Amino acid sequence: MESEDEMNCSTKTNQLYEQPNRPQRGRRVRAHSSGYMPGLDGLRALAVFAVIAYHLNVSWAPGGLLGVTLFFVLSGYLITNILLKQWDGTGRIDLKDFWLRRARRLLPAVFVMLAGVMLWMMLWAPERLAALKGEALAAVFYISNWYLIFHQVSYFESFGPPSPLGHLWSLAVEEQFYVIWPLLLGLGLSRIRQRKWLTVGTIAVTLASAAAMALIYIPGQDPSRIYYGTDTRAFSLLVGAVLAMAWPSGKMAGELSGSKRWVLDGAGILGLLVVLLMIGKTNQYQAFLYQGGLLLFSVAAAVLVAVLAHPSSFLGRFFSWGPLRWLGECSYGIYLWHYPVIILTNPVVNTGGLDLSRTLWQIGLSIILAALSRYFIEDPIRYGRRRRGRRRTPVLQWWQRPLGVGAKISLSIMLMAVLLFITPACVADNSGNEGAGISAKAITENHEATEQTQTQNENANENENANENVNKQEDETQETEQKDNAVKGDTAGNDITVIGDSVMINVAPVLQERLKGVVVDAQLGRQMYQAPEIIAGLQKEGKLGKTVIIQLGTNGSFSEKQLKQTLDSLQGSPEILLINSRVPKPWEGEVNETLKRVAQTYPKTKLIDWYSTSKGHNDYFYSDGVHLTQAGVEAYGEMLINALSPK
């Protein structure tokens, strides 16, 4: 059985987000000294900054969410490596010790971050505090992913101020892996004599998880269920586990010959290129990711992990660069803090694009908070007070003595209980999403106005039908009114049909006032894949005009195929206008790029650029950054009128 010091070394230096043994000053860091693989810390730094780039909506890293998959592969490899090493040394897996060490490593930092976020909310946004209680409790028990699934909280398609705890789903997936995998691995090791069959079985489960993701995924619809699910994300963790079974760190040769070293680093460079290419070129709305792409990325990440873990790798030495390694050591805290910092410090509405200075200090603040958490909270609780020899120390009174580990953990739990359960009654009464509430009110008011206008139009049509004999004088009067409308900038709307979502509900009253006879079909939450059915219904009812305006994309992305299906269903329409989107969500760029690309291939189709029109106009939007104030409604309506006016 390993001694306590040896167990500390192997455990604390080989798990995701964990801080490795710090080498003594003046000594060169060598891979596998005391079991330490410094290159993997550099990989952690790459992973966490990919995630940060994604959450900052940086255009050159649309696939930054794949940084989470990198962490999963690392976790599967390192944890399985530890468990196999313990089994080979003792013939058993000490589950109690393993789980206690995970708790000591992970819980203190989470508690501190949660306490900080809840305290900030209590001081600056008390109306949102009660709504966060459920998410905070789910985070404490590491079930955030299933909490979000069962409460139908989309990772990609939610409006209003985002939750500062939305990123904790990935920690929940990992912790669930920490609970279940040691049990399954121990059972397999005890029942299966030949290790190769255990590896084959793990590969089979890995493929089953990836297949579940591909089968459950529906192109063009919100992928949050498969994105959050432990069952559909387990394959990335298991790919790392398979690597640990096939090539554990203890079997990596210390030195390799020239040709073998070139092959090793060549494989690592290839894996790194795949990782970087997918981070830079993919996004969360591509079907490719869910139909094998994430599995491919996981395999490439596993190849990269294997090379960086090897002591003879030149690539591993590059990733062992001091500053990069230090950031990797702090990556757990950086991951915990970066998202709340970004969410709580971003402006409510931002139409000006990325602010470089704000971005830099957000990243800097995240790193500072992570370092403070590591040195003052995590390390003292994790390692305890280090003995520095037998120096005589003065006898201290009880109030002068530093708190023990148990006391610190108890105080953390008490603090969390206070913040989670003891909140003013007024806070609970005002819970909810303020931004969404404002927008919902605005939408409701405009929707009521739309219905009222539609009722008036229907009554007018009935009266008009009752007058079967229309004389020449009335025709002349109508012609005169149309000319007057043209002078005022109004356009006849008898042959215009508008199909949209909640944004168009806002704009409908203006259009119906300025475009007499226009048909507006708008609905909350509508998406592009629903458009062909809506168009068929309007066509059947005789309400599809010669000019069709489509405003969809607010509620989520759509594929090029889905947009083309919509346009193909409008083959009889001589003019089609597509309106792009301004929405402070990751799919904004994907939606606008798809609209632009497809519009260029359809001769009858013209793109209306709301994104550029609204740039720099924060006053056009409510606090969700999507739905329109009165100024925004007027600007949107004027944009459409101008687009429809003959040149």
Q: Which residue stretches of 467-555 are H helix?
A: 472-488, 502-514, 531-540
Task: Name which of 218, 340, 289, 339 is nearest 66 in CA terms.
Answer: 289
Tokens of 64: 């930054």
- DSSP string of 534-547? HHHHHHHTT---SE
Amino acid 355 reads: D
Coil, helix or strand at residue 4: helix
CA dihedral 390→395→397→398, nearest 10 degrees, is 30
Residue 297 neighbours by CB under 8 Å, 6+ apart: 66, 69, 274, 275, 278
Tokens of 261: 């070293």
Tokens of 344: 């709580």
- DSSP string of 115-155? HHHHHHHHHH-GGGHHHHHHHHHHHHTT-HHHHHHHTT--S
Longest dimension (CA), the chain: 113
- C-alpha 37/C-alpha 646 separation (Å) is 68
Tokens of 8: 């500390």
The residues assigned a catalytic role are: 502, 624, 627
Q: Say if CB 634 and CB 619 are below 8 A apart.
A: no
Q: Say if CB 599 and CB 605 are below 8 A apart.
A: yes
Coil, helix or strand at residue 65: coil
